[in-house]
Amino acid sequence: MPLSPNAAAAPDGRGSNRADPNRARARLLRMHYEARVGHIGGNLSALDAMLHLHGAVLDERDLFVLSKGHSAGALYIALWAAGTIDEDELTRFHRDGTTLAGHPVAGWHRRIVFATGSLGHGAGLAAGAALARRLRGEPGDVYCLMSDGECEEGSVWEALIFARHNRLANLVLLIDANGLQGFGGTDEVASLEPLGARISGFGLDVIEIDGHDPTALDAALARRGDGPLVVVLRTVKGRGVSFMEGRMEWHYLPLDEAQYRRALDELGQG
């Protein structure tokens, strides 16, 4: 669904400029650098999809659930790019008393309806919200962004069974499949590949796309049937920063000053 005009741009008209992928990446890096916190790699793998969802897909009737809560930074930047979080709020990221915590805090923003971060719970929360909307006759869809690592949690598969059984056509599950998690590659820790085929075995409609391509995401979301849609986003951890791309350690590490300056130069934002 198209985003409403009021949410598509910042009050000062900078919304579209903020949504430039490299500018958004640079602002995310600055936010994490100034707060001296990590989880940068998974934020960068999810950022392109979140920018597009909040800038061109979601409207006022839709709900968004960030199941991979440690990528809260990408969510905040997507909301900033869409003009619903201001610059001053970003400067308080991860600080005492902030609403922009390291994992989403429920209720302080209309786009953050659940507190998440304990991985494996978002799909169930989103499925329950989708069923509640249908029972109440409420319009709008529920979108949930997950990680491939959290798909190792049994609760995810219970949620898939629930969603398929109830034919939740108003539910879209997006999986940020960057192939890396906290202790190594997903194929090394507990392989689920071929992930799309395993999920489709539940009778769900599954599409695999380049998770950094907004055109591919639009095409996938247009393919809606009479049940839930699952979109596997094939992404690169640390996308856009050469020394982070495909490196597991950037699941955790914060940036030092030299790394931060190098990353900005690579993004053309130095």
Cis peptide before 139 (omega within 30 of 0): no
Give the predicted TM-score (pTM) of the model: 0.92
- Residue 66 scores a pLDDT above 50: yes
CA distances from 90 to 62, 137, 208 (A): 24, 36, 33
- Residue 5 scores a pLDDT above 70: no
Confidence of residue 16 (pLDDT cuts 50, 70, 90): low
Confidence of residue 1 (pLDDT cuts 50, 70, 90): very low
| CATH architecture assigned to 5-266 | 3-Layer(aba) Sandwich (3.40)
Dist CA 188 CA 110 (whole Å): 38
- Residue 9 scores a pLDDT above 50: no
The pLDDT of residue 27 is: 98
Distant-in-sequence, close-in-space partners of 15: CB < 8 Å, separation ≥ 6: 8, 9, 55, 81, 82, 83
CB count within 10 Å of CB 95 equals 11
The pLDDT of residue 170 is: 98
Q: Are 85 and 91 in contact (CB under 8 A)?
A: no
DSSP 109-129: STT--S---STT-HHHHHHHH
Q: Which helix (H) or strand (E) holds 229?
A: strand 229-234
Q: Are 209 and 201 in contact (CB under 8 A)?
A: no
- Domain locations along the chain: 5-266
Confidence of residue 103 (pLDDT cuts 50, 70, 90): very high
Helices assigned H by DSSP within the chain: 5-8, 15-18, 21-35, 40-52, 72-81, 87-90, 122-136, 154-165, 186-190, 195-200, 214-221, 257-266
The pLDDT of residue 18 is: 87
Q: Which helix (H) or strand (E) holds 207?
A: strand 205-210
Dist CA 244 CA 31 (whole Å): 17
- Residue 12 scores a pLDDT above 80: no
The pLDDT of residue 2 is: 34
The pLDDT of residue 13 is: 39
- Residue 254 scores a pLDDT above 80: yes
Dist CA 193 CA 208 (whole Å): 12
